[in-house]
Structures are given as C-alpha cells and as structure tokens.
Amino acid sequence: MLLRFSRPSLLYSRTFCTGNPSSDSKLFVAGLSWAVDERSLKDAFSFFGDVTEVRIMYDKNSGRSRGFGFVSFSRTDEARSAKDAMDGKAFMGRPLKISFALEKSRDAPVVVPRLSTSGDSNS
DNA sequence: CTTGAGCGG
C-alpha cells in the first residue's frame, strides 16, 4: 500500500551513477602533467598502499595523455590516505587533483529506464 | 610545435 511508485520492471544497469562515489577504493586523479605515465603514478601511489589499478586516459586522436587518470587501491584506507596526501599537492610540476572516482565502466551503458516493459517487448 | 577543466573502456 505504501509503494505506489514501484515499477514492475525497471531495467537499470549493474552500475549506475548515483551521484556519489561508491568506489571508495578508486581514485580519480587529475591535474596530471602530460609527461606523466601510468608507471610513474603507480610508483608514486604504491608508496601509500597496494595499487591494483592504474589507468591514465590518453587522447584517441593524438595519443597523448588527457591529463587525468584513475588509481585503484586494494584497500580503501590506502586510497583515502593517498588522496589525503597527494590531493592538492604538486606532481611533476603540476598540482594534483584527486577525488573518489565515480563508478564508470564499459559495462555501464547509462541508465535505461524501461517504463513500458509490460508484456510487449519487440525488438 | 599547441592545451589545463575534468570522471574512463
């Protein structure tokens, strides 16, 4: 009686952006210099803990770094420590901007709310 | 040979 707005079949993706960083172990590192690579970031962030994922986004056209990347830690404490330690600090001449990454993944094709999934489902 | 806020595949 209370849930009048409950849809029978809402097709959401497994990972959707709720607006808050659900990945407390994933860090969004921006403000990187264009000379910084993944190995340098991994080496720099491996000091704070065990880095499980280091991904620097490169340009698809020129092939150079976009200036931001992602660093994932094996523990949330390490990620929080690294963020608290390296965020706002300068890395390779440029001030680093670190924040908790959003759950962006290739398996997340944006939320697709099927409001009409009742019976009629033709491709 | 370039640029500088940001959230990727």
Rounded to whole angstroms, the Cα distance separating A24 from A99 reads 10
Task: For strand B, give the nucleotides within 7 A of a protein CB.
Answer: 2-9
- Strand B at less than 7 A from CB of A70: yes
Q: What is the pLDDT of residues A16-67, one digit of tens each?
A: 545 566 678 999 999 999 999 999 999 999 999 999 999 999 988 888 899 9
Give me chain A's average pLDDT, please.
Answer: 79
Instruction: Tell me the C-alpha distance between A42 and A37, whole Å.
Output: 9
What type of residue is A31? G
Which token pair is A100?
A: 């908790």
pTM: 0.74
d(CA A118, CA A15) in angstroms, rounded, equals 23
* Euclidean distance between CA atoms A102 and A120, whole angstroms: 34
In angstroms, the CA of A102 and the C1' of B3 are apart by 25
More confidently predicted of A120 and A64: A64
Token output for A68: 């931001």
Q: How far is the CA of A42 from the C1' of B1 (A)?
A: 30
Nucleotide nearest to A17 (CA to C1'): B7
Only one residue has tokens 């094709």, namely: A109
Tokens standing for residue A22: 């659900």
Beta bridge partners of A29: A69, A98
pLDDT confidence of residue A78: 96
